[in-house]
Amino acid sequence: MSDFTALEHDVYLFHQGNLRYSYELLGAHGDTQNGNTGTRFMVWAPNARQVSVVGDFNDWDGREHPMKKWNENGIWHTFIPHLEKGEIYKYEILTPHGHLQLKADPYAFSSELRPDTASVVYPLDNNYRWNDDLWMKRRDEMNVYESPMSIYELHLGSWKNVEPEVYYNYRDYADEIIPYVKELGYTHIELLPITEHPFDRSWGYQITGYYAVTSRYGTPDDFRYFVDQCHQHGLGVILDWVPGHFCKDAHGLRRFDGEALYEYANELKAEKPQWGTLTFDFGREEVQSFLISNAIYWLKEFHLDGLRVDAVASMLYLDFGKENDEWEPNEHGGRENLEAIAFIKKMNEAIFEEVPNVLMMAEESTSYPLVSAPTYIGGLGFNYKWNMGWMNDMLRYMEMDPVFRKYNHNLITFSLFYAFSENFVLPISHDEVVHGKKSLLNKMPGDYWQKFANLRAFLAFMYAHPGKKLLFMGSEFGQFDEWKDIGELDWDLLEYDSHDSTLSFVKQLHQFYKDMPALWELDHHEDGFSWIDPHNFEQSVLSFIRCSRNPKDQVLVVCNFTPVVYHDYKVGVPHPGEFEEIFNSDAEHFGGSGQRNGLKASSTPEPWQGQEHHIKMTIPPLAVTFWKKTDGSKGE
């Protein structure tokens, strides 16, 4: 009997699309057979006429280590004694057309540094010792929906580097990034994909090694160290994950065994002309096992706290990014990819069964319903969705000269019509500050002072608005240039007062945000928000109340999106009492004009803006102020 027979049940589940840990079956694994230690190889290549393992250890000669075909469904296997960690290898595949091709291992845990493309034997049963037990326990007990969440999105290679295209190690990045992000008060770091990819400027979104930590920054254990250190310092880690498509590089998944295997055989379904990539065949069971296992792999093996799933809309719709002659409807005549929808639901169900209390965030840019609802009520099963509508409306509004904002007031109020239809994250991501879109600061209109004032007002409004928060690196200190994916952030700007003050503003905004349960506890519930006045388009002023479960925690928010100062401005309040300004984005130490309300405002028992009482205040220019009752009476 073969030593491989103990794996037969896993092989069966793999072909059924139900092997959630297929990375423990396929790929290169340390093993012992017939008293010899070495490496076991398994690969799925059903159309191949022959498969061999090749590398430096056999002079890349496919005759030396041919693989045996397990079954008619196309799993090939072999065991090579004395082959140890660090050896490079590929699969030599004889296609049904008689061509030999070399492919990297789809399940490789490590790869050569680009431009080299071979896989590297890196056993899964490593000896890394985690020290994040306290974090993992706290994560399991946390109600993430009713907790503050502010995410710092970053691309490792262009945050800082040795020189363009020469990068630090994950361990070095841990030592640099964690104190910085922690000091600013973020709760999570989100990394652009660190799965292996051949082209630096794809930022990791066009992948060849789904299970391989990119060797640009070190080894899998180096990355474990990065995550471990984040957790020990109280920071969660989210990874961008790309199940929607893969690149066409010759050593990757494209026509892996000479035929369409991981991609659809139907080119109209396979091709993503917008990106020059290929769509996974979501209806194929082995592909389901591959992708679901991959998500679980990152969450389990690297203790990640969540995945941000890239380009979900491109998975959901057959016509995404395509002309009329580039797609064909589904069996019901619609544009939805029914197989992808079923796969997404199956994937999320599996993930939350295997790794509860993680974040599954969909970057979904359409109005597809129930993205963040459970599958048992018809949802896709994510627990968060990026609010792309809010992002587009707000950036369009903020880029306008304040003179014209009153004609577009609906752009800042419309989001509250649907703010509680999903569990939303408010994202200002890398996509908004690259390819000629300008940096967040440079989107802002006006002179030098007004640009910074607009930026502070925008960020303060973002943190007052229902939904969790995400901001791309560099925006926190007002980088003028858009993101340079080759190079690093303009750290020298912090030598200038306006940028240093902006960084201080973001730090204090985070601390204020975390101290105010009203700004996050009921983020996803209508009881957490109520308008005071959304209608004052003439002055571009709006006011509202954020609430927590404790009525005493109510926070009044007043926003002014013009450079005009309004004195003795009346704002309705639902209850009598004294109100104190507790945060002002126009404070002098943030670089503002210093138009502040130093004295408490006592309410007057005269109705205003639909409320029974009102207070008078000074509203600073291009600014957001936060107010709270101070007399100890209940806000109910």
Q: Extract the tokens encoding 63.
A: 């005759």
Half-sphere exposure of residue 456: CA atoms within 13 angstroms, side-chain side: 38
Q: Extract the tokens encoding 287.
A: 């592909």
Conformational region of residue 35, where left means phi above 0, alpha means psi within -120 to 50, and beta covers everything else: left
Q: Residue 170 and residue 227: Cα distance in Å, rounded?
A: 9
In angstroms and rounded to an integer, the radius of gyration of the C-alpha atoms of the chain is 27
Q: What size, in residues, is the chain?
A: 636
Nearest to 557 by CA among 624, 620, 622: 624
Nearest to 122 by CA among 153, 165, 148, 86: 86
Which of these is catalytic: 310, 432, 476, 488? 310
- Residues contacting residue 552 through CB under 8 Å, at least 6 positions apart: 629, 634, 635
Residue for token digits 């936060």?
626
Q: Residue 591 and residue 553: Cα distance in Å, rounded?
A: 28
Which of these is catalytic: 363, 422, 482, 581? 363
Annotation says 259 is catalytic: no
Residue for token digits 């209390």?
357
| Residue 328 identity | E
Nearest to 39 by CA among 21, 60, 53: 53
Number of Cβ atoms within 10 Å of the Cβ of 394: 20
Annotation says 363 is catalytic: yes
3-class secondary-structure state, position 230:
helix
Torsion of CA 294, 295, 296, 298, to 10 degrees: 80
Helices (H) and strands (E) in the chain, counts: 15, 30
Nearest to 626 by CA among 524, 534, 520, 518: 518
State the angle between helix axes of 448-464 and 497-515 in degrees (0 to 180), rounded to the nearest 10: 10
Q: State the sign of the Cα–Cα–Cα–Cα dihedral 387, 388, 389, 393.
A: positive
Contact assessment for residue 559 and residue 542, using Cβ atoms and an 8 Å cutoff: yes
Say if strands 424-428 and 468-472 run parallel, antiparallel, or are unpaired: parallel
The three state secondary structure string of 315-379 is: HHECCCCCCHHHCCCCCCCCCECHHHHHHHHHHHHHHHHHCCCCEEEECCCCCCCCCCCCHHHCC
Give the active site residues. 310, 363
